[in-house]
Structures are given as structure tokens and as C-alpha cells.
Structure 1
């Protein structure tokens, strides 16, 4: 009976009677999500990169819940991190780090329309128009990629493993799982020797889990407080002595003329920890090629005669096109196998006839009861409503001359189609290629509405919003699936988080816009130039002098490299991890060296920690430290960019 009782406790992830969707979980998720939202808005406007931070959300939620009279259940923690992710990723979903800054860069002389600066109310209307389509798109996609295909979704799985360790549950991947869910195993089903061996191994695992959990409980708040305090002190120091945050790398001349300086920001280092070592290495490779080779080449050759940092006629604007080519080539190649698999799956299903389809539609693999799932009537009603009201809101904000209603509807439909590819890529590689998906939508609308740059950017943003949001929320649904959390409870959390984040993100962006020039030295918004430059290229086909040759050459090279990386990744070969990511490489072109160098330090720390310092199966301490760097640090440090390019050097 001892073995039977132990196995029952180890193989049952939770009971439906446990609290899940509670006010405490939702409020805590919103609080964490608001912090992530400010961080992502700053990070996105600076580097074009944001993070879901699902693991950090779950960890902080757990630490806070330990201070409550009744700690939250694992299912409540799932709701916490789901709500936090929906709140924190709105800066990208609603285009605040790319679409809106791109519209503000429009030139009446060049584009035929003046710059578009949305008021707070207009930005709220735009956000409401695109904020919910991906949420309603998630439940049907969940059934396909999580229940039927059982894709990995690495970040969602890692979050589930963390929550299971903290709550004394077995790691999800060690549970005995049948097609209809988690089952209980009776003692007589297991030979005595096997049961004894299983018990011994399990006790060792449980002991390690206990040590890890106690480490988090005792050291978590200490590490979080220390990292937050250290980052804040460094920010104050930078405020009074800004020159120390613009350290010349190769001397004052290269820092002033070629923008080679180093910003030792703990915030940037923390972002590098979150990105990981391979990504930061790829980014710094791009930074070296772009700023140490191509930038001097185009400047000294007279192809980019303006100041190096000028995005119009300087080296930074010239290398942008090479970056754009690399980004599109890498994203396109990485999507090809996903598309092939999807088409092959459709052909295979059609060959099996209606019986196979009926069996799939009946949900025979579903582990949840109907009362815990999101009803299909809600999904259909929500999709229709989000498209209808979204189209009206977009038309109200931008007018008939900006984008016609039928084009917005087409953008939603295209976003729904592209989200399938994005979600599948995310489930297999942990990367959602939304940048490439956005470029695909721009290509489509260059044909649908030729010559209309505003419509090209807006429709592309509508399509990208659905694909990005559906992908990020799918990671949360994977976590909930592994921990047997209610999909309906997560759906509620996603709706609430998205709704609140509309006001939070819009207010934060408005405040940043009043305090800084966006795009500008503090917040360069590099992806805004990518959106606008591609729209202009598709309209008039003009590139800076000799940039086409480098754009094509680098695109072909990274198309081949991405092919090798994709094939190796699908075969789970170790070399795929070390082949440079084209998207990260391109991001290194878009940002000045100061952004990339500090993040490389964070990536190195992450690598050393995992390979030399961390215990088995544990990276929790580093995650805590990285999570302690507050959102206000990038804003304070950002002032240094203006100083470093001017009188400070």
C-alpha cells in the first residue's frame, strides 16, 4: 500500500477541485505582467527584442505566494504566469515597438503622407482592435499542436517543470501518460523488484527536488532583492556620471565617429541571460560584421556619406538592408519545413477518409472534460467579433485613406493562416518567426494595395499581431496541459491580461513618447526602420548604392546556413545549437555595439552557469537574479546614448 499510495501521489498532477482561477492569482499575474510590460517595451524599443518571461513569471508568482496565508496551488501559478505573459507581451502584439514608431517616421515629401502620431485614445483603439484575435485563435490551435501532435514547446515545458519542482510534483516528462490522460497505477501492475527500484530512484529525485525547492525559498528573495538593488544603484550612478556608461572600446575617436562604445548596464546583462548564450553570440557576430566591416566599408567607399548613425544616408541605414535580407531569408527557410509538414499532414489526413477526421474531431486525445475547455461557440463568436470590431476600430483610427476595411479583414485572415506556421515553428524550435511572418504579410499587401505604405504597414501589423499572440499564448497552454490546469481558466487569464495591458502599454508608450524622441538615441526602435524600409522598397524598388549586392549575398549565405541549421535541428544534432541564428545576427546589425556587447556578457554568464556552476536540472538562481533587473533601468541608461555620441566623448 505504501508503493501504491506513493505512485498515486506522484502520478496525479492535480485535482479539479483545487483552486485555479482565483482573484489572487489574477491580480498577482497582472502585477507581474505590468512589470514585464514596461521591461519589454523598453527592451523592444531599444533592441527590437522582447521576452515572454513565462519562467520568471511563474517563479516570482511562487515566491510571492509563499508570503500569503494560503500559498497558491500549481494550477493557480499557471493562471498567474498565463495572465502575466498576456499582459507583458502586448508591446509587440500591438506593434508599439515596431508598427507605431514606423508610422511616426513617414515623410510627406517621400511617402505622400505626413508622420502619424497616435493620441492616447487612438492608441487604445488600435490596441483593442488587434489585442483579442490571437486569444480566440489559441483554443482550436491548442487542440491540434498540443493535444494531437504533442509538440514540445520548450519554454512551456520548462515552465511546467519548474512549477512541478516547486510544488513537489513529479517532472511532467516522467509521468506515466496514456492517450486519454494521466492514470493511476495499481501495485499489482508493477513487479516487486521494479517497484522497489522505481521507489528508490524516485526518492532520490524527490530529495534533489526538495533541496532545489528549499534553495529557491531561502535564497530566492535574497537574490531578487540583491539584483534589483544593485541595478538601481548602478542606474543612479549612471545618472550622475553618465560618461561611465559610454566607455570607449577602441578610443574616443572610434566611439564618437563609429559608435564603438560599451554600456555596462546590468539591465542589458540580464537581458543577455534571458536570451541565452547562442543567441547573444549570433547577435554579436552580426554586430561585428555590420559595425566593424560593412559600416567602415560603405562609409569610406562613399556609398553612405552621412554620419555613421544616420538611418537615412549614413552607414546604419545602409547596413539595414543587409540585415533585412538576412532576416527574411532565415525566416523563410525556417518556415519551409513547417509548411511542407503541414501540407503533407493534410494530404495524409485526406487519404485516411472521413472516419479518421471524425475520430480527431471527437477529441479522443483530449485530457480535459468539456466544462474545463473553451466552448467552440465562444471561439467562433470571439473570432467573428474580434475581426468585426477590430476592422471598425482600425478604420476609425487610420481612416479610409489609411487602410480600407476589406484590407484589414484580409489582414486578420492572413494572420490566422500565418499563425499556424508560427505556432508550429515555436513548438519545435522555441522561436516564433513573427518578423518573417510580418514580412510575408507586407509582400502580400504590396500586391493587394500597391503604393499605399500606410496600408502595407498596418495590415502587416494586424497579421503579425495574431501570429505572435497565438504563439506566445500557446506556450502557456502547453504548461497548463502538462500541469493539468484548466484551459478555460487560462483563457480567462489571457483575456483579462490582454485587456489590462492595453491601458498599461498605451500609457507607458505615451509617457516614453513625451520624454524621448521615438525613434531616437534613447529608444532607436530598430524594427520600425525594417517595417518602413521594406514598405518603401516594395513601393518604388530603390536601394542605397551597392547595398543590393551585399543584401543578396548575405541572404543566400544565410539561406544555406539556415537550411543546414533546420535539418540538423530536426535530426536533433548538437551542431544546430551553434549555427548562428539569422534573425539574431540581423538584430546585431540594427543596434549599435553598446547594446550587443553587454548582452554577450549576460550570455556568457548564462553559459558558464549552466556548464560549470549549476546543479543538475537547476538554473533557478540565475533566473531569479536576471528577473531582478527593473524596467526603469533601460530608460535611465538610455540617456547615455545621447551623451556618448556627443560632448561626453
Structure 2
């Protein structure tokens, strides 16, 4: 079928489907909204919990779609694939607010301010102020999504691997033909798309570990065992096991703080092991290459650089001290790695935008194919988001958000004109972030936030609060637009209504403001943030860069190591970006700079557990095969992650009511949460 013929067929299908789906009203239903919000609230608590512990959160779109499908088995009428798309869209919008609104980085960073050093006292927002701040940044990325979708999904047809993988999973769960796209996207979760050659039975030599198909037409979906009862059992038992282990670790903290190489290394150098099933589950979901990069960073940071900085006198304080200790010293090297990796990864994206949109703009407009560009949209107008909604929404969110930020932080925090510029930068950086995400499946939000901080150090010098807030505004827009674009890619492949997804995004973001703010307030009352249990490592990154841009002061000898590692990982990022764009099979094994840097930020206990999960994922799919293995391992991993995240609410309630640990036996190394050092 030629491209022109296929476009006409898709448009006929869209017009035919518009009357049936009624502009998406049959997809955005009460049951979808209710269970999407319920699943999203669980993800919200989970992401806030793990984000404050390690600085790493997940969209959990695959898990949302899977759990939504299982829940739908209790519906009187089956849930359609399009309803499942909208459900997981709502869940993702609800669950990712802890990062979008800065609860795992921005707000803890403001709480670390020191009046003597920074000129302003620590800022601890009240519940109402935190709601106001969240409202200011919660909807800007949502209203950015429709016009960006038009560009990157409809016109440029970027891959968005995670969004495509979610569409593949939904097609398997609902037993419909796999979505048809113009390029092959291979995922490691046991379901993938077949390109034209594979559909015709031509072997694909570039797919490691996958049995070759002799004949596999596009019209037939891959068969994956997703028996509801068996799936429910796997999810429930893994959830229960993780929950029980979490409660056990609450009453007996040594369970999650095992001295890895003896008490001395645990107490003096922070080498402990946390055998958390949730972190093992995260490692399974992240995959072996990412967890390997993280642990390489952990070894370089904690086994090499930390002892070197301590014994050389560059970081004379206790190892765990973020100001004078080696943990604070290696933080600067981590910051250099993240900035270099993110910025270099953006270079090809920026170059492509400038080349295609600026240099060749006039040529493209004269190209005959450009006339057919609008024909790529297969949805009817009543299923799309009207541009007047986008214009009013963007304008309103910027004006309303600027006023809210001014009301919360005042003129001493950030000037209204500076906040407005922050939104403008957020919009520009969002385009870059979304394009990078669409091509590489990595949204460089940390690097984009740092770009905004660098810019505001120039236009509003000396104001640390303004620097952090402006970076948070830019990061919020980029992160939210990117996550929602993955969902819109899923909806595009499954033919879900973009308007229904848009309503779901607005609803999920609105509810998540209250849920996230309340959860964060409760955690603040029960725990010290940042503190031993919730170190909030990304808060130190935000504050550290803001202080550096104001003072220019760095710990002894850290600048030399920052330059060395920035150059090394800038080169690695360039090679990785080239390999990914060329589709080379070894691209995934080139270390990820961001994952490597996360290994510096977190103590070894978290990274080792994730490596175990990555090894389990690699060994399982190598031995069983990715097609035969299916999604069973991901189901178990999801139960592990959700179990600890949800049961942590019980631990929070117990601590709030004054129920302490049952025994501090084995905690002589001083690394147990809840036990005195």
C-alpha cells in the first residue's frame, strides 16, 4: 500500500470512527477517570517516596496500562483499548507530579537555604503555599502538548519508544492487531513491533536474543500469555512480599541496612546494602544496561573518588556530610557529568531543528510533499484539542502561574517578569526535551533545568531563590510535556481520542496537586527532609549549582575533576547519540551519563539492589527468550515497586502516631533509619 493510499484509508477510518467514538466521549468515562486517578494516586505516593530517597522516578505507563487492564476484568462491560489508553494517561499525569512540581528536588532545596551563607533563610512552604506553587506549574506542560504533538508525532513521526511499547502492550492485552508505525521499535519487555521486512518473513539479524519468525503477518498480534487469574496472582503475591518486607524493615531497620563489607566500611564509608524488593523491581524495569551504568558510577564515585578526596584532605569532614564530606565533594563531579551528558545529547536535536526549520524552511514550504503534511492527521476535528483552547490555556496558565509564584515567594523570591521569562524558556526547552525523548527515550530534564539556572544567573544575579525557582519552572514544563507526549504517542497508535487524553491529563494533574502536597506535608512532619531516611539527593544538585553560579566557590580540587569527567562524558554522550541515531545494536551498552551520575548521588545501598534487578532481567530474557518470557517478569517487578511505595504510607502513619522501631539490633554502624546513630 502506497503512502498516499494509506493516508486516504486512515482518514476514512478516522471519519468513520468519529461518529462511533463521539469525539472521545465514550473513552473518557467515569470508570476510566475513577480507576485512572486511583492508580495514579498509588503511583504518586510511590514516586514521591522513591524520588525523595534516590532522586529517580518513573512514568510507570506500562504498569498503569497493565493494572488498568486487570481492574477492568471487574467491569460489567469490557474496557476498550482506547479506554485503557486514557486510563493510563490519567494515571501518568497523576503519578508524575512529584517531579513536575519539584517536590523531590526544588522544595527540599529551598529548605536547605542558609541565611548566613545564602543571604536568605530556609523556605519551608505551608500546605497552602505548596498547593499554590503546584498550581503555577501543573498545567503549562499540558497545554503545550497539543501543538507539540502536531509537530513531533503527526508530522515528524518520532519513535517515542516507551509510548510505542505501551501501545504494543495494550494491543497484546486486548488482543487487537499490533499498531502500525513507519519504523521498527524494539523493546526489552517481551513485546515489539514488526517492520515490513519482518512481516514478510525476512529474518532480522539486529535483534539479539529474539527467535526468528518464519512468517508473521502484520495483521496478527504476537501471542503472549496474559491469563488474568495468573497475572493477578503474580501481581498480588509480589506486592504482598514487598509490603511485608517494607514493614519488617520499619520495625527492624537493619533489614534494609546490612553492612556490606563490615561495620567499619558501613559506618565510615557508607557501604551498606538495602535488599529492597522494590529496588530490585526498579532494576528489572530499568534494564541491565542502565543499572550497569549506575553501578559503574557508584564504583567510581564511592570506591575511588570518595576515598581519594577524604585522604587527600579535599573533603576533611565525615564522608556523609554534604558540605565538608566526600559525599558533598563527589556531588560536584556528578553535576558536571549530568550537565555535559544532557547538553551534548541536545546538540544533534538543536542542529536538526535549526537545519530543518530555519535553513531549509523555505525549501520545505515549496516542496510538493509539504502540501500533504496536513493529510498525516488521521483524527477528525471533534477528537482533537482546538487551538483556541491551547491559546487561552497557555496564556492563562502563564499569567495565573506568574501571579501565584509572586504570591507564594514575593518580590524577594523572584520578580514577576523573571517568572514570565522562566515560562518562555520552559516552552522553548520543552520542544528540545520532547524531541530528545522522541528519538532516544531519554528526557534530559535535569540538563534543561541547569540551562535555565545558567540563564537566570545572568539576568538576575545573586538571587539563589530566583535561580532555583526559574529552573524549576523550566524543568516542570519540559518534564510534563515529555511524559504526556509518550502517552499521546500511545494514543495515536491505538487510535484513542487526543481530546479525551487531554481531559485526562488536566484531571490527573489537578487531583495530583492535592495528593502530592498532602503526602509531602505528612512526610515532612514525620521525617527530616533532607535527612537520613529521605536524603533528597537532587535537592543538593539544585542548590549546589545555584551557589556555584552566585559565588563561584568549589571544594578543593573538585574543579579539575569536574572538567575531566565533563570532557570524558561529553565525548561518551556524543558517541552514544551517534550510535542511537544510526540504530547500532551496541548503543544501549554505551554508558548513560545521567545514570552514571545518579550512582554518585546515591549511597551504594540503592544502586546494588537495582543491579541485582538488572541482572535478573538480563538472565531471565536471555534464557527464556523475550517473546516466551512475555510480560510476566514486568508484572512481578511492578508488584515489587508498588508494594513498598504503597505500604510506605502505613509506615508513615505508624511514625506519625508515635510507633517507633521494635529493635535496633545490628545497627551499630549508624546507618539505620529510625535508630539513633
Per the normalisation by structure 2, the TM-score is 0.87
Asked if the contact 1:522/1:642 (under 8 Å) is kept, the reply is no
Q: Which residue of 2 aligns with 1:263?
A: 274
Cα–Cα, structure 1 residues 312 and 336, in superposed 2: closer, same or farther, change >3 Å?
A: same
Cα–Cα, structure 1 residues 204 and 463, in superposed 2: closer, same or farther, change >3 Å?
A: closer
Q: Which residue of 2 aligns with 1:307?
A: 318
Q: Which residue of 1 aligns with 2:460?
A: 449
Q: Distance in 1 between matches of 2:124 and 2:523?
A: 13
Deviation at 1:271, TM superposition (A): 1.5
Cα–Cα, structure 1 residues 462 and 208, in superposed 2: closer, same or farther, change >3 Å?
A: closer
Q: Which residue of 2 aligns with 1:189?
A: none
CA RMSD, Structure 1 to Structure 2 (Å): 2.6
Please list the CA deviations of residues 601-623 of structure 1 after superposition, one character each: whole Å capped at 9, or x if unmatched.
11111212222224517541112
Q: Distance in 2 between matches of 1:634 and 1:280?
A: 24
Please list the CA deviations of residues 57-84 of structure 1 after superposition, one character each: whole Å capped at 9, or x if unmatched.
0000001001211121000000000000
Q: Distance in 2 between matches of 1:219 and 1:643?
A: 43
Asked if the contact 1:267/1:633 (under 8 Å) is kept, the reply is no
Q: Distance in 1 between matches of 2:541 and 2:289?
A: 23
Q: Which residue of 2 aligns with 1:129?
A: 136
Asked if the contact 2:181/2:493 (under 8 Å) is kept, the reply is no
Q: Distance in 2 between matches of 1:474 and 1:441?
A: 22
User: 1:169 aligned to 2:188?
Assistant: no
Cα–Cα, structure 1 residues 26 and 604, in superposed 2: closer, same or farther, change >3 Å?
A: same
Per the normalisation by structure 1, the TM-score is 0.91
| Residue in structure 2 matching 1:249, options 256, 260, 265 | 260
Please list the CA deviations of residues 257-307 of structure 1 after superposition, one character each: whole Å capped at 9, or x if unmatched.
101010101111111122221111111111111000011111111111111
Q: Distance in 2 between matches of 1:614 and 1:642?
A: 45
| Residue in structure 2 matching 1:512, options 520, 523, 533 | 523
Q: Secondary structure at the match of 2:627?
A: coil
Following superposition of structure 1 onto structure 2, how do residues 56-455 of structure 1 map, counting pairs within 5 Å?
56-173=63-180, 201=215, 206=220, 208-209=222-223, 212-213=224-225, 215-352=226-363, 354=365, 363-455=374-466
Following superposition of structure 1 onto structure 2, how do residues 1-40 of structure 1 map, counting pairs within 5 Å?
15-16=17-18, 17-18=20-21, 19-40=26-47
The runs of 4+ residues in structure 1 deviating greater than 6 Å are: 11-14, 174-177, 637-643, 646-649
Q: Which residue of 2 aligns with 1:502?
A: 513
Deviation at 1:91, TM superposition (A): 0.4
Q: Distance in 2 between matches of 1:258 and 1:362?
A: 59
Following superposition of structure 1 onto structure 2, how do residues 452-491 of structure 1 map, counting pairs within 5 Å?
452-491=463-502
Q: Which residue of 2 aligns with 1:187?
A: none
Query: Please, which runs of 5 or more residues in structure 1 have no aligned partner?
Result: 1-7, 178-193
Deviation at 1:12, TM superposition (A): 7.3
Asked if the contact 2:163/2:490 (under 8 Å) is kept, the reply is yes
Q: Secondary structure at the match of 1:363?
A: helix
Please list the CA deviations of residues 493-546 of structure 1 after superposition, one character each: whole Å capped at 9, or x if unmatched.
000000000000001100111111111111111110000000000001000011
Q: Secondary structure at the match of 1:172?
A: coil
Deviation at 1:204, TM superposition (A): 11
Cα–Cα, structure 1 residues 545 and 170, in superposed 2: closer, same or farther, change >3 Å?
A: same
Asked if the contact 2:284/2:614 (under 8 Å) is kept, the reply is yes
Deviation at 1:170, TM superposition (A): 1.1
Q: What is the total number of aligned residue pairs between the two structures?
A: 618
Q: Which residue of 2 aligns with 1:548?
A: 559
Cα–Cα, structure 1 residues 81 and 225, in superposed 2: closer, same or farther, change >3 Å?
A: same
Query: Please, which runs of 5 or more residues in structure 2 have no aligned partner?
Result: 1-8, 185-199, 202-213, 656-660
Q: Distance in 2 between matches of 1:165 and 1:21?
A: 22
Deviation at 1:645, TM superposition (A): 2.1
Deviation at 1:311, TM superposition (A): 0.2
| Residue in structure 1 matching 2:574, options 552, 563, 567 | 563
Q: Distance in 1 between matches of 2:458 and 2:409?
A: 20
Q: Distance in 1 between matches of 2:617 and 2:175?
A: 26
Cα–Cα, structure 1 residues 373 and 534, in superposed 2: closer, same or farther, change >3 Å?
A: same
Q: Secondary structure at the match of 1:386?
A: helix
